[in-house]
Amino acid sequence: MATSQRPVSKPSATPTAAAPSVLANRYFLQLWIAQALTMTAQNATWYTVMVVVEQSTRSGTQLSLAILSVVLPAALFGLLAGVVVDHTNKRTTLVVTNLLRALTLALYVLHGTALWVLFVANFVFSSISQFFGPAEAAKIPLVVRREQLLAANSLFNLTFSGSQLVGLVFLGPSVVKLFGADTLFVTSAAVYALATALVWQLPRAEPAHAPLRGLLSDQRTVLQTILGELREVVETARRDIALAFALVQLTLVMGLMLVVAALAPRFVVAELGVRADDAVVMLAPAGVGVVVGALTVAAVARRIGTLDLARRALPVGGVLFAGLAVAPALLRQTPWPWLGMLAVMGCAGLLGVLFAWVTVSCQTLLMERTPSTVRGRVFAVQLTLGSAASILPLLFVGGLADLVGVAPVMFLIGVAVVTTGLAAGARVRRGLLTPAAPDQSLRPAEEDS
């Protein structure tokens, strides 16, 4: 490891300045629209599942099981997915996974009153998605220029944020209330079919990769093959502390978001006194906050540095999360109980901003500092780590919330996030940053006609 103390370079363009040239690339535009459609449909589907489970059981344990059915496939198949993506055509993977997810949504319609059908559908849908996520992340640098990566990531995260706002706050609640859960599931299937058509038009040509068939044709077991492939990922992260730090930060944020998803329906019912399907009082500010964060991340990162932004944002988010947990109880002691609702909405909005800052900056670090030959595996490892890190908490937080209350559990999680974020930030600040070698795969994309 080199002895240089030089920090990661700051981004050179804001999304506002770079976005027009990025959007002029029709391949990026198609990938971006496909992401917007599928993420909106996915968020509306998850919303509907959580509402069905909450209204049917009023149980934090059942909500945790619903989230666990989504998370478990990432721990089981995430690493395998990264290996497969790095040895297959990314465009083909995007097409197949979108088509399979459209077909899988039919399972949700069969749920009736049997919740286990919803859990099975969640598991199948999430298993397929493990291959889509790394392929999408690995495809972005293949269709945009290197200097546009931050803008592209900001747009993708802006869309990710907007899809949460549209799916969780508008599409999901309105369709479920007016037409029922089954209509929402059918609508989502149609959206995935449209996304399949969009990614079908992406360029087939990609950098050469070792074919998957040849990779598995020798005498080694599949597990040995996967472990061998992942050693290169470990070595890549070990040589670059900034890359390793980005993996840790994204893991913490992903785990936190999954735990929050399991606790949020109980929180709005028990602490705010609203119906589960009226949780927009908390979801809407968070969604707006994520949009604001995606729009401002480049300006903030240009001022303080991408790495420093990622290092500072998470501990502050932990403080806000702890404040979110205790705000309703504290403000119920005042003559103005509505202040509790405003405090929750404010904390949720700021959490959304910080979530976007951490996510965009860390994903940009990964894309800038990871060679194309291992990029799919790096993103798969990150998704797997985030899912695996949340499994144990998910097994207990629902039951613990039923036992002692959702607010105390959320407060303890906030304290844990602050502690972990500060420790990770101090470690990377003391470390020696090794500038990544230029990745030749990030050469300027050919101009689109």
For the chain, the structural domain boundaries read: 15-206+225-436
* pLDDT tier at 275, thresholds 50, 70, 90: low
Cβ count within 10 A of residue 399: 14
Higher pLDDT, 438 or 369: 369
pLDDT of residue 219: 46
Specify burial of residue 446 (Cβ count, 10 A radius: 0-12, 13-18, 19+): exposed
Q: What type of residue sits at position 441? A: S
User: Taking 80 as the threshold, does the pLDDT of residue 136 lie above it?
Assistant: yes
Compute CA distances 367 → 149, 274, 426, whole Å: 8, 41, 23
The whole-number pLDDT of residue 448 equals 40
Distance CA 438, CA 445 (A): 16
For the segment 226-237, the average pLDDT, to the nearest whole number, is: 69
Q: What is the largest CA-CA distance in the chain?
A: 73
Mean pLDDT throughout 183-210? 84
* Pairwise CA distance, residues 355 & 253, whole Å: 7
Q: What are phi and psi of 371, to 5 degrees?
A: -60, 145
Q: What is the pLDDT of residue 4?
A: 35
Task: Of 115-119, 206-210, 212-216, give the range with the top mean pLDDT.
Answer: 115-119
pLDDT 10s digits, 376-424: 667 767 767 777 777 777 777 777 888 888 888 889 888 888 888 888 7
Mean pLDDT value across the chain: 76
H or E element: which one contains 298? helix 280-304
| Residue 364 half-sphere exposure toward CB, CA atoms < 13 A | 36
Lowest mean pLDDT among 19-28, 203-212, 388-397: 203-212
Q: Give the per-residue pLDDT at 271.
A: 75
- The pLDDT value recorded for residue 11 is 38
CATH of the domain spanning 15-206+225-436, picked from 1.20.1250.20, 1.10.10.10, 3.40.50.720, 3.40.50.2300: 1.20.1250.20
